Amino acid sequence: MPIFSFDYLAPPQWASRVSAQKRGTSWQQVARPLPRAIMITEDTQRLETYERRFQELSELLGDSELVKDQKRFVSLHKEYKEVSAIAAQISAWKKNRDACAANQKVLHEEKEQELLAMAKEEDEALHREKDAIERRLKVLLQSKDPNDEKNIVLEVRAGTGGDEAALWAGDLFRMYHRYAELQGWKLHIADCTPGPAGGYKEIIATVQGKNVYAVLKYESGVHRVQRVPATETQGRLHTSAASVVVLPEMAEVEVTLDMKDIRKETFCSSGPGGQSVNTTYSAVRLTHKPTGIVVSCQDGKSQIQNFDKALQILRARVNAQAKKAQQATISEERKSLVGSQDRSAKIRTYNYPRSAVTDHRINYTDHHLSHMLAGHMEGLLEALRAADQQLKAAAPSVQ
C-alpha cells in the first residue's frame, strides 16, 4: 500500500483529508508523491561534521579509561549508535557518487552500442540507489523526538454514544493491553471508572518498555466505532466514539537551585527575641531571580540558621511552581491531542459490518478488524511510522 506525503504537522496531529478540504485544497494536492531528488547531500559541510564526530567517538570509546566513568560511557555509546548510522549512509552516498562519475565517463566516451546500453542501465540503477540513500539520510538527519524512548501514560475515555461508548472504550483498552503483552511491555492500571453496562467511562494506565512512546505516539485522537450494540434490540447500526491520549511519562520535577540566580539580603530581625533583635542583621531575604519568588526568614538566632531555613523554603516553592507548570503543560497537551471527543473529530474508524479499520490520516484500511482488536496492530503502526518518516524526508532540511 502506498504511503503518501501530507502537509506536515508534528505527529500525531497530521492534516486529514477533511482539514485539507476545509482549506480548499484537493486531496490529490495534499497526498502527492515525494520528489525524485532530495539533494540533502548538497550540504557537504554538515555531512563532514558527522564524519569527524564519528571518528572522534570511535577513538573515545576505544579508550580503556572511559569505562571508569559509566555515565559518560553510556552517553557517548548512545551518541555513537546514532552517528554511526548516519556515517554509514554518508559512506554509501560517496561510493555511489564515485560510481556515478565513473559511469558518466563511460557514457561520454564509449562508442560500442552494447556497452553503452549497459552503462545507461547502470546509470538508472545508480540514480535510484542515490535517491534511496538520500531519503534515508534525510530521515536520519531530522531532529529526533527526545520522548521516543520514554514510557507512556495511556488514557482511554468514553466519548459520545452513552453506554456503547463505554463498552467501546473497554474494547480499545483491551486492544492496547494485548498489544503491550505481545511486545513484552508492562502495563499497569493506575485508575479507572467502570461504565454502568460494562467497559470504562475512563481508564488510565502506564506502559513501560522499549521505545513505547515512539510506537504508540500516533494513537492519540478520537476512535470511532460503527456496529450493532449488544443492547440494540432492532439490529440498528450505531456510531459511538472513545478518545485516546498517549503522553510520554515525565520525570518528577526536581529543580536544582543555582546560587547565582539567588539574591541574598540581610536585615534586622523584629518582634520577640533575644538581645540581638533589632541590633544585628540576622534576618535573611532570598529572591529567586528567574521566578521572582521571595522568601524571608527571621526565626533563627543567627544569619546562618535563617539562611538555611529560607533556602529550604525557597527550594520547595520553586519546585512547587515547576510542578504546577508541568501539570499545566501536560493538561494543555492532552487537550491538543484529542480536542473534541465528538465522532466527527475521528482519526480512525472501526467498522464491524465491513470488518474494516481505516486510519483517515494516511488513508490506510485493514480488513482484519478482529485480528487488530486482538492486539495485532503491527501493520497499522508500521504504516503510521513510515508515513511520518516520509513526511520528514519530504520536509526542508534542518540546518
Instruction: Tell me, yes or no, whether 243 and 269 share the same domain.
Output: no
Mean pLDDT of 197-223: 92
Confidence of residue 385 (pLDDT cuts 50, 70, 90): confident
Residue 283 in any domain: the answer is yes
Is the distance from CB of 169 to CB of 201 less than 8 angstroms? yes
The pLDDT, as a whole number, for residue 208 is: 93
Instruction: Tell me, yes or no, whether 62 and 109 share the same domain.
Output: yes
Q: According to the per-residue pLDDT averaged within each range, which of 139-148, 225-234, 236-245 is highest?
A: 236-245
Residue 147 in any domain: the answer is no
| Structural domain span for residue 237 | 152-252+338-390
Query: How many domains does the structure of the chain reveal?
Result: 3
d(C-alpha 214, C-alpha 374), whole Å: 21
Residue 8 in any domain: the answer is no
Residue with more model confidence, 76 or 359: 359
- Which residue, 310, 328, 346, sits at the end of a domain? 328
Residue 312 in any domain: the answer is yes
> Does 2 have pLDDT greater than 60?
no
User: How large a percentage of the chain has pLDDT more than 70?
Assistant: 78
Is the distance from CB of 103 to CB of 122 less than 8 angstroms? yes
Range in 26-35, 98-107, 142-151, 198-207 the model is least confident about:
26-35
Instruction: Tell me, yes or no, whether 127 and 39 share the same domain.
Output: yes
Is the distance from CB of 158 to CB of 201 less than 8 angstroms? yes
> Does 233 have pLDDT greater than 80?
no
The pLDDT, as a whole number, for residue 231 is: 67
Instruction: Tell me, yes or no, whether 159 and 308 share the same domain.
Output: no
> Does 127 have pLDDT greater than 70?
yes
Please classify residue 147 by burial: count the beta carbons closer than 10 Å to its beta carbon, then call 0-12 exposed, 13-18 middle and 19+ buried. Answer: middle
Mean pLDDT of the chain, nearest integer? 79
Closest Cα to residue 225, out of 177, 179, 166, 174? 166
Residue 395 in any domain: the answer is no
Residue with more model confidence, 274 or 270: 270
Instruction: Tell me, yes or no, whether 248 and 162 share the same domain.
Output: yes
> Does 184 have pLDDT greater than 90?
yes
CATH number at residue 246: 3.30.70.1660
pTM of the model: 0.59
Instruction: Tell me, yes or no, whether 370 and 345 share the same domain.
Output: yes
> Does 125 have pLDDT greater than 70?
yes
Closest Cα to residue 38, out of 391, 396, 385, 386? 396
The pLDDT, as a whole number, for residue 352 is: 95
14-71: per-residue pLDDT in tens?
A: 333 333 333 333 322 333 333 333 445 456 777 888 888 889 988 888 888 887 888 8
Instruction: Tell me, yes or no, whether 40 and 136 share the same domain.
Output: yes
353-370: per-residue pLDDT in tens?
A: 999 999 999 999 999 999
